[in-house]
Amino acid sequence: MVKIANIELGEFPLLLAPMEDVSDPPFRKVCKANGADLMYTEFISSEGLIRDAAKSVQKLDIFDYERPIGIQIFGSDIDSMREAAIVSSQAGPDLIDINYGCPVKNVACKGAGAALLRDIPKMVKMTEEIVKATNLPVTVKTRLGWDENTKYIVETAERLQDIGIQALSIHGRTRVQMYKGEADWTLIGEVKNNPRMKIPIFGNGDIDSPQKALEYRNKYGIDGIMIGRASIGYPWIFNEIKHYMATGETLPGPTLEERVEVCRQHFTHSLEWKGEKLGIFEMRRHYTNYFRGLPHFKPLRMKLVQSEDIQEIYDTLDEIAATMSYEEVTT
């Protein structure tokens, strides 16, 4: 049984990665229904939280059906991060996660996210202050290093464990790599197999099939896997991995009707949480992913992304289910 502090996650948990503009409550709800064991909010700016910025505060919304769930925070100032941890704890999550992995320019170039990989002492000090500031378990998500010459993750993991984090998720790329190239899991395996490490180690990067998940579990010995991009428009990946690991059998992919139904559920949750205008607008980024590979989908996609009418969108989803066969999806 893998545990983060007293939070039981099963024998080999699958985690939904925190993804900006993706891992919101509507998306988390469909991932939870399809087998995600632990989920995180989108990353939340520490400065936004302590200044009570509406967008940051809204990201604190969590629901009991999502548990266990962590709130992830990022920032460059130690005092602000400490205060943000206190604010986040008051929202009632099961844990607090610190983002030391985001590579995007407007985060890293402001000294937050993966930028802390260039200043490990500051990363350790920041983490220590956050651990002291909350009674909740604190976890960290990070990368191998800033670049090829600064892959200090084995030593960094020890230092973070020593000041009290309860689990560590590692993306198998450097910041300089962004999301390019192939993720290197060898150092993730070294962290996990370091006899000094006692906390759970979760691997992240390029897991896009049940077969690869099983291969990497066996090869690197990690305690669980964090899945990001492969789940966008395809929340079924969690249950598919679990089934394959338990039975050695590959589940058939979702039927077209199942794709439409889960997309419909996602849209409904989006409307409930965001309201009509924003719910319609922000759902548009997901349609292509739900129906990727569907032949002759472009005209229907255009209807979905151009419509501002709720019923018209539901009707278009019905049209997709009615006019296209599952055989077309798979051929």
Q: 164: exposed, middle or buried (C-beta count within 10 Å: 0-12, 13-18, 19+)?
A: middle
Domains of the chain: 3-247 (3.20.20.70), 256-330 (1.10.1200)
DSSP 172: S
Using a CB cutoff of 8 Å and minimum separation of 24, what contacts does 215-220 make?
216/185, 217/12, 217/245, 219/185, 219/189, 220/185, 220/186, 220/188, 220/189, 220/192
pLDDT value at residue 159: 98
Stated pTM of the model: 0.93
How confident is the model over 47-100, as pLDDT tens digits? 999 998 888 988 999 999 999 999 999 999 999 999 999 999 999 999 999 999
Which among 143, 50, 138 has a CA at the least distance from the CA of 98? 138
User: In the chain, what is the straight-line distance between the N-terminal and C-terminal CA atoms, in Å?
Assistant: 40
pLDDT value at residue 21: 87
Q: What number of other Cβ atoms are within 10 A of residue 212's Cβ? A: 14
Main-chain phi, psi angles of 173, to 5 degrees: -135, 165
pLDDT value at residue 272: 94
What the block records as the tokens of 297 is 């989908």
Report which residue type is found at 166: Q
**What is the chain's percent helix, strand, coil content, to nearest 5?**
50, 15, 35
Is 263 considered catalytic here?
Answer: no
How confident is the model over 250-260, as pLDDT tens digits? 999 999 999 99
List, for the chain, all residue ranges whose pLDDT scores fall below the cut of 70.
324-331
CB 190 within 8 A of CB 156: no
pLDDT value at residue 128: 98
pLDDT value at residue 324: 65
How far, in Å, CA of 143 to CA of 152, rounded?
A: 10
What the block records as the tokens of 210 is 């049940």
pLDDT value at residue 94: 98
How far, in Å, CA of 331 to CA of 320, rounded?
A: 17
Q: Which residues are part of a known binding site for FMN?
A: 72, 141, 171, 228-229
